[in-house]
Amino acid sequence: MDVCLISSEGELVVHFRAPADRDGLYGLTRRVAVYGEPVRGVVESMNGARFVHDELVKYGWEVLLAAAAGQGPGAAGV
């Protein structure tokens, strides 16, 4: 999955890819932890979005689900 880290000022910090499996998400949380800042994630609706959401929440992230581009409001089930 594509990951964009955005600063509190709205600037792109870094853009990279991470596997959307348990090990990949753990690696993602470790990579982001070096910044020492609270994390809010947004997961675009996709196959496995709920799994990604739940795994990141386990690591203390605030995670929102968003409708994918072209999907109507509520398409992500939120």
Beta partners for 44? 66
What do you get for the CA distance between the two ends of the chain, in Å? Answer: 20
Q: At what angle do helices 49-58 and 22-33 cross, to 10 degrees?
A: 50
8-37 pLDDT, tens digit each: 888 999 999 999 999 999 999 999 999 888
43-63 pLDDT, tens digit each: 887 888 899 999 999 999 999
